[in-house]
Structure formats: structure tokens, C-alpha cells
């Protein structure tokens, strides 16, 4: 018994030399993926398939893991569990095939798909007719349907050997990983960017991961998890990099210096500026983003063109024309949706009136006063972790939510001693919906200035952070706890719960 790996159909139509190169690359990838499970696993290369032989005595758990890994290796169209036996004639083939399939085809429409290689006294069509008749007689309620079969019964004869396919399941398809070069995917942990990275992996592109941290240790921890999942599940044959860039100071500079309507576009431009610099340093020739046309204000065609202008490298967008529901469906299929569903939305800048068609001169004027040394510092402070070490590397450890003082009513505030509330919303948000707590001392420090000002606040009081939805206040409080400033907590009124 062994596994037969059928090549992705687009590989089989390549020229002889290209096909051989792709097959050799796929063979190496399969070996690299399976070797950690058992050093005795053997992979053999054939013209139209690969053969994987596992040793006797392999545990059921290891065998199951082998099967799951094979189904996720880019370049494999189908995985088959195969047994090869000798045979004498068509009746002998029928006697071996019928017990395997009669239960599967009972009450269903089926067809026999026969392939033959070598010299025989019968043709492939003879095999299909003879075996189909035997199966039809053995399976109650079965019927033959050559065009719309519910079950396809495969049988292969190679010289004097009968290849019995006991089980078959779809592979990932695409091209062998590493064959099409490298790219660096900007990943945030939402629905879009992991799907975009996965699509590049499936097309054979060795994909590194670049994360712009807008939410402190908690944000990074969540993105590390989804990145490790993508790597371990779909690109285990290669070692790639996870790079984290501390971008909160850049966000603060944008919120201080950039006009409201173009904040989103400028933020994306700063990201691709930094990304192209980091990628060029790593000799990676392209960037990948999860942008889709018209999903948000910065993703109109005109704004995307302005964003691309800030990059020294081409920006690839595999999701550009996809609907959101299709992206979410695919995120569930590759099992990244569960990360997006539990990850808070860390939005760097939110414009009140975003410009969907920003002009080039507006962007130039907006960036004229930007302090680019802040961006340079963020690039220099970037950290790199190899994906195979993500699970073991000491990620920034957020404080436990249980450690945060959290009050959620005016009554609890009034009863507490030595408490002040800090409204961390942006100035325009405070003006539009003032926080009314006349009995409690209040401070107004926008979230993008809080980390810089927090240490100067007297530590003989407790400070509760407030924002509309409660997400930014929780993230900022956790970030401060990580720095040892444990006298900060959260205030959530009824509207923000």
C-alpha cells in the first residue's frame, strides 16, 4: 500500500524540461514536508505522478497526519491510496475490484474509468465494459451513467500489475512552492490578508509575512498565530520570515500632521514604503496585499494608484475583484476565519470624511510636513522571526484581561476612590459625543498620544480609559500593563459594551 500523488493538470501541459523541473521541485517539497514525521518515508518521482511509501508499523495518528499534509502541498491535484497486485485476466481484475466498490455504488449512478499501459489481450474499453457489467450485477440498485455518474470507479493496469485505488481525495492544486519566486505579504489577521497570502502560496510563490503593529503585544500575538497556521498548514516545506514593524508612532504622526480626508491613503502609503524597503533588503521582489476594490475608501482605483506610487516594488492584489462573502468563504475553507472572528479591529486611523478620489497634489501636500524619521525608526525597529520558530519564540506577552480594573457604570465610578477617567478618543469624536461624568475627574488624551504621556501621570491614582466601542481602550490598557504601568484600567458605559 502506498500513496500516489497526481500532478496539477497545468503542470502536465508544460514542456518536457519545465515539467521535469516542476516535478523535481514538488518531490523535494513532499520530502521536506513529510520527513519530520518519519525519516523512513520514501518519495519516488514518476513522469505523471509521485509515489509515497510509508514504513510498516506507522501509527494511525502519524498516517492520518501524512494524509492531511499531502492534501495541502501546492502542486498536487489528487491523493490516492493505492495497492498493487498481480493479475491473470479480466475476470481476476473483476474479482478484486468488485468487493471494494459494490457497497459504494449501490443505488447510485456509476462509471468505470480504466487506464492501461503495456501489452495486453484487451483494450481499456474492454476493461470498462467487463468490469462495469460485473459491478452492475453485484450492486443492488446501481446503474451505469457515462456522462453524469455519481461515482467514478478508477482502475489502472500497468504491464502485469493491477493498481487498485482504495481511496482518493482532492489535493490543493497549484504549483510547487518556491518555483515562482518570492513575495512579501502584508498581513493583519483579518479575513482578507491571510486569504491573499494563501493564494500566492498555492501558485508556488514562497511567501514571507510582514506585520504592521497598530495594537501592541495583543495584536501581534493574534497575527503570529494566524501566520504560524498558514505556514504550518500550506508551506511547511520552506522556511520563511515573519517581520513585525512597530507602527503606532507612525499612526500618531499621521493623526497629528495629515488632514482628515486623506489619512487612510497616507497610512497605506507609509506601509508600502516601509514594506518595499524591508522587502528589497531581503531581496524579495514583490509585495502582496489583501486589497479588494471598493471595500474601504482607500481601495478605490484612484487611491490604490496613489498607494502604489509610494512603493519601490510591484504590489500584487490577488483579491482585487472578489466579493467580501467569497473572501470569507475561502477564509473558512483554509481555516483562518476563526482567527479573524476573534481578533479585535485595530484601526490605525478613521477619517470622518474619507476622500475616495484623493489627488496627487493633496497627498504631496499632506506628506510635506510628515516627519519621515519616525518611519525610518519604525523600519529600523522591525523584528524578524522565522516561521518555524513562531510557536516557540517568546512573543510579546499581553497582560491578562483579568488583571485590568474594569468598571461599567457611573455608580461604580462614583463609589471608587482615587479614580480618573481618560477619554482616549480622537478630538473630533469627543466633540461630537462628549462624555458626561461630572462627579469623576477626567482627562482628554487621544489614544495616539497616550503611550507617550502615560508615564508622566501620577501613580497615586487609578486611570480608566474610555472609547466608544471599548476595543481601543482595552488594547491601550493591556499595552500599558505590559510596560509595567498597572494603574490603568477600562471604563465601559452601557453604549460601549
Strand order in the sheet with 49-53: 42-45, 49-53, 2-7, 76-86, 161-170, 151-158, 109-117, 143-144
User: Among the listed ranges 158-167, 190-199, 330-339, which one has the minimum average pLDDT value?
Assistant: 158-167
Q: Cell for 224?
A: 503570529
Contact between residue 467 and residue 439 where contact means Cβ atoms under 8 Å apart: no
467 included as an active-site residue = yes
Query: Mean pLDDT throughout 369-392?
Result: 92
Contact between residue 168 and residue 78 where contact means Cβ atoms under 8 Å apart: yes
Query: Distance between CA 42 and CA 31 in Å, rounded?
Result: 8
What does the pLDDT read at residue 497? 40
Query: Distance between CA 375 and CA 447 in Å, rounded?
Result: 19
- β-partners of residue 110 are 144, 151
Q: Cell for 488?
A: 490603568
Place of cell 489583501: 290
Closest CA to 213 of 427, 449, 383, 467: 383
Kindly report, residue by residue over 291-320, the tens digit of the pLDDT: 999 887 778 899 999 999 999 999 999 999
CB atoms within 10 A of CB 455: 11
299, 303, 306, 311: CA torsion to nearest 10: -10
Which residues contact residue 163 at a Cβ distance below 8 angstroms, ignoring those fewer than 6 apart? 4, 82, 83, 84, 155, 156, 157
Q: Has this prediction a pTM greater than 0.85?
A: no
**pLDDT above 60: residue 396:** no
Q: H/E element holding 491?
A: strand 488-491
User: Among the listed ranges 73-82, 184-193, 473-482, which one has the minimum average pLDDT value?
Assistant: 473-482
What does the pLDDT read at residue 346? 60
**pLDDT above 70: residue 421:** yes
**Cα separations in angstroms, 48 against 8, 124, 165:** 10, 19, 16
Q: Cell for 174?
A: 497549484
What does the pLDDT read at residue 403? 65
**pLDDT above 90: residue 244:** yes
Contact between residue 344 and residue 215 where contact means Cβ atoms under 8 Å apart: yes
Which residues contact residue 195 at a Cβ distance below 8 angstroms, ignoring those fewer than 6 apart? 290, 319, 327, 330, 331, 334, 336
Contact between residue 193 and residue 226 where contact means Cβ atoms under 8 Å apart: no
DSSP string, 191-255: SHHHHHHHHHHHTT-EEEEEEEESSHHHHHHHHHHHHHHHHHHH-TTS--EEEEEE-HHHHHHHH
Q: Are strands 2-7 and 76-86 parallel, antiparallel or unpaired?
A: antiparallel
Closest CA to 334 of 411, 230, 216, 409: 230
Higher confidence at residue 242 or residue 388? 242
User: Among the listed ranges 100-114, 398-412, 421-435, 438-452, which one has the minimum average pLDDT value?
Assistant: 398-412
Which residues contact residue 475 at a Cβ distance below 8 angstroms, ignoring those fewer than 6 apart? 215, 216, 218, 219, 344, 346
Query: Distance between CA 482 and CA 464 in Å, rounded?
Result: 16
474 pLDDT tier (thresholds 50, 70, 90): confident
- β-partners of residue 180 are none
What does the pLDDT read at residue 416? 75
Give backbone dihedrals phi and psi of 3, rounded to 5 degrees, phi first: -105, 135
Q: How far is CA 437 from the centre of its chain?
A: 43
**pLDDT above 80: residue 345:** no
Closest CA to 90 of 155, 1, 167: 155
Query: Distance between CA 100 and CA 168 in Å, rounded?
Result: 13
165, 169, 172, 177: CA torsion to nearest 10: -30
Question: Which listed residue (210, 467, 472, 480) is catalytic?
Answer: 467
Kindly report, residue by residue over 121-142, the tens digit of the pLDDT: 999 999 999 999 999 999 999 9
What does the pLDDT read at residue 350? 61
Considering all CA atoms of the chain, what is the largest pairwise distance in Å, rounded to the nearest integer? 98
Which residues contact residue 158 at a Cβ distance below 8 angstroms, ignoring those fewer than 6 apart? 116, 117, 118
444 pLDDT tier (thresholds 50, 70, 90): very high
Query: What are the helix (H) ranges across 293-386?
Result: 301-309, 324-333, 337-342, 360-368, 372-380
Query: Distance between CA 314 and CA 212 in Å, rounded?
Result: 19
Three-class DSSP category at 64: helix
Amino acid at each position: 500500500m502506498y500513496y500516489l500523488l497526481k500532478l496539477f493538470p497545468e503542470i502536465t501541459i508544460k514542456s518536457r524540461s519545465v515539467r521535469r523541473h516542476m516535478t523535481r521541485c514538488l518531490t523535494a517539497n513532499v520530502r521536506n514536508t513529510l520527513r519530520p514525521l518519519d525519516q523512513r518515508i520514501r518519495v519516488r518521482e514518476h513522469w505523471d505522478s509521485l509515489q509515497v511509501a510509508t514504513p510498516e508499523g506507522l501509527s494511525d495518528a502519524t498516517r492520518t497526519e501524512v494524509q492531511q499534509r499531502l492534501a495541502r502541498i501546492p502542486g498536487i491535484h489528487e491523493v490516492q491510496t493505492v495497492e498493487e497486485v498481480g493479475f491473470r485476466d479480466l475476470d481476476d481484475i473483476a474479482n478484486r475490484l468488485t468487493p471494494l466498490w459494490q457497497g459504494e455504488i449501490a443505488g447510485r449512478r456509476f462509471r468505470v474509468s480504466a487506464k492501461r499501459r503495456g501489452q495486453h489481450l484487451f483494450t481499456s474499453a474492454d476493461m470498462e465494459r467487463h468490469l462495469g457489467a460485473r459491478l452492475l450485477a453485484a450492486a443492488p440498485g446501481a446503474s451505469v451513467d457515462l456522462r453524469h455518474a455519481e461515482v467514478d470507479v478508477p482502475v489502472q493496469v500497468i504491464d502485469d500489475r493491477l493498481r487498485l485505488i482504495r481511496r482518493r481525495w482532492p489535493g490543493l492544486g497549484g504549483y510547487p512552492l518556491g518555483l515562482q519566486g518570492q513575495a512579501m505579504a502584508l498581513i493583519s489577521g483579518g479575513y482578507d490578508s491571510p486569504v491573499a497570502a494563501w493564494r500566492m502560496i498555492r501558485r508556488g510563490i514562497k511567501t514571507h509575512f510582514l506585520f504592521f503593529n497598530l495594537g501592541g503585544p495583543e495584536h501581534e500575538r493574534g497575527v503570529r498565530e494566524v501566520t504560524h497556521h498558514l505556514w504550518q498548514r500550506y508551506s511547511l516545506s520552506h522556511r520563511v520570515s515573519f517581520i513585525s514593524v512597530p507602527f503606532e508612532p507612525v499612526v500618531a504622526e499621521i493623526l497629528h500632521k495629515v488632514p482628515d480626508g486623506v489619512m487612510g491613503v497616507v497610512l497605506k502609503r507609509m506601509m508600502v514604503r516601509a514594506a518595499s524597503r524591508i522587502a528589497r533588503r531581503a531581496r524579495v521582489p514583490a509585495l502582496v496585499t489583501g486589497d479588494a476594490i471598493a471595500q474601504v475608501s482607500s481601495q478605490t482605483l484612484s487611491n490604490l494608484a496613489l498607494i502604489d506610487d509610494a512603493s519601490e516594488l510591484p504590489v500584487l492584489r490577488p483579491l482585487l475583484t472578489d466579493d467580501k462573502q467569497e473572501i470569507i468563504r475561502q477564509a473558512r475553507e483554509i481555516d483562518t476565519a476563526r482567527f479573524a472572528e476573534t481578533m479585535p479591529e485595530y484601526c490605525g486611523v478613521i477619517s470622518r470624511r474619507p476622500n475616495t478620489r484623493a489627488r496627487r497634489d493633496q497627498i504631496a501636500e499632506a506628506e510635506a510636513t510628515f516627519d519621515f524619521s519616525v518611519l525610518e525608526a519604525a523600519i529600523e525597529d522591525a523584528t524578524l522571526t522565522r516561521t518555524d520558530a513562531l510557536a516557540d519564540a517568546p512573543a510579546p506577552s499581553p497582560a491578562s484581561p483579568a488583571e485590568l480594573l474594569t468598571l461599567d457604570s457611573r455608580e461604580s465610578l462614583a463609589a471608587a476612590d482615587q479614580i480618573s477617567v481618560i477619554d482616549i478618543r480622537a478630538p473630533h469624536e469627543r466633540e461630537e459625543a462628549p462624555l458626561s461624568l461630572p462627579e469623576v475627574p477626567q482627562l482628554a488624551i487621544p489614544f495616539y498620544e497616550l503611550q507617550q504621556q502615560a508615564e508622566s501621570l501620577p501613580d497615586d491614582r487609578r486611570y480608566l480609559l474610555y472609547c466608544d466601542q471599548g476595543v481601543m481602550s482595552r488594547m491601550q490598557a493591556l499595552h500599558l500593563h505590559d510596560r509595567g504601568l498597572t494603574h490603568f484600567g477600562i471604563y465601559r458605559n452601557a453604549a460601549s459594551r
